[in-house]
Structure 1
Amino acid sequence: MKIRNAFKKYGPKVGAVAVLGTASAGAFAQSAYETGESLGWIAAGVAGGLLIMGAMWGLVSMIGAGKKAQRAGT
């Protein structure tokens, strides 16, 4: 898609989002966010994912080793 056509198609939508974002920026200026708890949940999710990935890696390697042992025995 040419840049000119993309601007015609998406230009008004992007412009409206920019205007709304700029207009609402003042509403969030005085906010303070506590990120400690959310970072803890993110870290727990990453740790859980790594644990599951390690378990799956071990399962795959055990299946591979079993196949090799079965081939060697025949």
Structure 2
Amino acid sequence: MDKQFYMQMESLRDRMIEKALDKQTFLNREVLLLSQSLDLYIVRAQEEQRLSRQAEDDSDEEEQHESGRSHS
């Protein structure tokens, strides 16, 4: 996740909290829309983390496979 994406996500989170405090509820339409937008950012961040971990795992498996062949 790049820094700009993280900053946008944090900005959206701050706006949602400010709006909820201003409206004194999380059930306000604007608050809910901000929350749903933040959910999309969170899902994207989680997907990027999952893909990154998967790529690392795949790389580790390939290294293990390669080292096994060189010992044969």
Alpha carbons of structure 1 residues 30 and 67: separation in structure 2 relative to 1, 3 Å: closer
Calculate the TM-score normalised by the size of structure 2. Answer: 0.57
Gap runs ≥5 in structure 1: 1-25
Q: Compare relative contact order (CA 8 Å, sep 6+) and give the higher one, 1 or 2.
A: 2
Q: Map 1:1-74; keep pairs closer than 5 Å.
A: 29-30=24-25, 32=28, 33-34=31-32, 35-72=35-72
Of the two, which has the highest radius of gyration? 1
| Large movers: runs of 4+ above 6 Å | none
Count the aligned residue pairs.
47
Gap runs ≥5 in structure 2: 1-20
Calculate the TM-score normalised by the size of structure 1. Answer: 0.55
Identity %: 6
Alpha carbons of structure 1 residues 46 and 69: separation in structure 2 relative to 1, 3 Å: same
Q: CA RMSD in A?
A: 2.0
Using the alignment, how far apart are the partners of 1:69 and 1:54 within structure 2?
A: 23
Using the alignment, how far apart are the partners of 1:38 and 1:56 within structure 2?
A: 27
Render the CA deviation track for 1:10-37: whole Å, top value 9, x for unaligned.
Answer: xxxxxxxxxxxxxxxx866256322110
Using the alignment, how far apart are the partners of 1:47 and 1:71 within structure 2?
A: 36
